[in-house]
Amino acid sequence: MHCPFCQHTDTRVIDSRVTVDGLQIRRRRECESCRARFNTYESAQLKAPNVIKVNGTREPFDEQKIRRGMLKALEKRPVPTADVDRAIRQLLRHLLTLDEAEISSRRIGECVMHTLARLDEVAYIRFASIYLRFDDLQAFRDEIERLEREDFGALDFKQISLLKQNRA
């Protein structure tokens, strides 16, 4: 591993620990040349599925699109950063471990909505209003009423698509 400060090629690991969520190993490193210390993170490399868009085209899975969408919905909401990061990691782990070569963008959106509903109801409504393309205030009211009836903490990701069909 190259030192990010002086670009020297020799660094040594001085400490290794598993992260709190157990998904990564944090390695504390020290440069043999400039003695600077820095952290690296090691995690399993999973093959991401291709995404089937609504129009039928396929594109590579982009973790950053999910992250940006969730962070935009959660903007200025009182949700601790640690909770947001944990939820995003869990969602990405779920999507990457589906063992499917392809996944529909609709299913990804439903998983994001489910995750947001458990984190923050306002963020959920923000995301849903764009994802589900609310046309008027009644669509907002209907979704808020559904949110009040549902217990998203008890739902499994795989059940969300069934709920979506019932609502349409």
Where are the domains positioned within the chain?
11-43, 50-167
Determine contact, residues 119/87, Cβ cutoff 8 Å: yes
pLDDT at 158: 40
pLDDT at 151: 65
pLDDT(26) > 90: yes
pLDDT(162) > 80: no
CA-nearest of 43, 88, 85 to 63 is 88
User: Model pTM?
Assistant: 0.61
Report the distance separating Cα 96 and Cα 100, nearest Å: 9
pLDDT > 70 in the chain, percent: 89
Report the distance separating Cα 14 and Cα 27, nearest Å: 7
pLDDT at 145: 86
pLDDT at 37: 97
Q: CB burial class (10 A; 0-12, 13-18, 19+) of residue 136? A: exposed
What is the CATH T-level fold of the domain 50-167, as seen in this structure?
Four Helix Bundle (Hemerythrin (Met), subunit A) (1.20.120)
Q: Strands across the sheet with 11-18, in order?
A: 11-18, 24-31, 37-43
- How far from 3 is each of 8, 17, 27, 101, CA to CA, in Å? 5, 20, 13, 36
